[in-house]
Amino acid sequence: MRVPFVTGNWKMHTTARETRDLLNSLKALLKDINKITVAVCPPFPYLFLASEILEGSSIHVGAQNMYWEIEGAYTGEISPRMLKDAGCEFVIIGHSERRKLFKETDEMVHRKIQAALTEGLHPIVCVGETLEERENGKTTEVVESQIKGAFAGFKAEELKGITIAYEPVWAIGTGKTATPEQAEEVHRLIRVWLADRFGRELAEEIRIQYGGSVKPENAATLLAQPNIDGALVGGASLKAESFAAIVTQACL
């Protein structure tokens, strides 16, 4: 049985003081949570701080992005080795904002996954369609193409540490949310695709999160779907009470 996994993606928010306050509040609110994997992904400058504050707690630390080289003359980039040194266990790869704003391609996502796995990080790989693509009936085509590009050349045993996050682009930061039925349909599609390419065992093992305006009010119905194994939470993860409420829903 898959253990639910809820991740908070803080994006480009918080100061050091706000990071400290938020994490201390989360530690208090989630101190008795043990049936679920919980991770937070603060901005790069606060990863060491987060690791220090969360040491000994049940909350894991992740990063929002990384580069695929281990070191070198890549001004402004962060390597997977640096993330490990900062205490990260997880890293978000291929978020729709990275694809749209920074022109990341499926090939770049693939290289980042490869580098993350090599350094012992657990990638959270994001896929999802735009509103135009959904309205044109291309959801299946787009999502399958993104997964195929991300995992090309991998063997099943190499993907055991991976999480997939389905995030319909039209539901991110818009207040719109895919219905539980819409989300479940795509999650099931992803799992079937994984089973066809890598076998049923891996497909049943990999956790698939839903991301897209997840909040306490809609979390329960989304997380009740059989193929939705957790959530990649954006804005609601910046408030301790709302994020803790989503985590609690995932435990039910």
Span 41-97, pLDDT tens digits: 999 999 999 999 999 999 999 999 999 999 999 999 999 999 999 999 999 999 999
Q: Give yes or no for residue 176 having a pLDDT over 80.
A: no
Cα gap 190→194, rounded to integer Å: 6
| Residue % of the chain over a pLDDT of 70 | 100
Do residues 118 and 83 touch, judged by C-beta distance below 8 A? Answer: no
Q: Give yes or no for residue 198 having a pLDDT over 80.
A: yes
What pLDDT is stored for residue 174 in this prediction?
Answer: 80
Statement: the pTM of the whole predicted model exceeds 0.95:
yes
What pLDDT is stored for residue 252 in this prediction?
Answer: 86
Tokens of 158: 């190499």
What pLDDT is stored for residue 86 in this prediction?
Answer: 98
Burial class (CB in 10 A: 0-12, 13-18, 19+), 230: buried
What pLDDT is stored for residue 220 in this prediction?
Answer: 96
Confidence of residue 211 (pLDDT cuts 50, 70, 90): very high
Backbone angles phi, psi at 42, to 5 degrees: -75, 170
Q: Catalytic site residues?
A: 95, 167
Q: What is the mean pLDDT of the chain?
A: 96
Confidence of residue 128 (pLDDT cuts 50, 70, 90): very high
What is the CATH architecture of 5-236?
Alpha-Beta Barrel (3.20)
| Residue % of the chain over a pLDDT of 90 | 92
Question: Domain residues of the chain, as ranges?
Answer: 5-236
What pLDDT is stored for residue 105 in this prediction?
Answer: 97
What pLDDT is stored for residue 170 in this prediction?
Answer: 86
User: How far does the chain reach from its first CA to its final CA, in angstroms?
Assistant: 14
What pLDDT is stored for residue 178 in this prediction?
Answer: 87
Q: Give yes or no for residue 1 having a pLDDT over 90.
A: no
Q: Give yes or no for residue 173 having a pLDDT over 80.
A: no
Higher pLDDT, 25 or 174: 25
Return the HEC string of the chain: CCCCEEEEECCCCCCHHHHHHHHHHHHHHCCCCCCCEEEEECCHHHHHHHHHHHCCCCEEEEECCCCCCCCCCCCCCCCHHHHHHCCCCEEEECCHHHHHHCCCCHHHHHHHHHHHHHCCCEEEEEECCCHHHHHCCCHHHHHHHHHHHHHCCCCHHHHCCCEEEECCHHHCCCCCCCCHHHHHHHHHHHHHHHHHHHCHHHHHHCEEEEECCCCHHHHHHHHCCCCCCEEEECHHHHCHHHHHHHHHHHHC
Is the dihedral angle over the CA atoms 141, 142, 146, 147 positive or is it negative?
A: negative
Whose tokens are 């193929």? That residue is 227
**Span 189-212, mean pLDDT?**
97
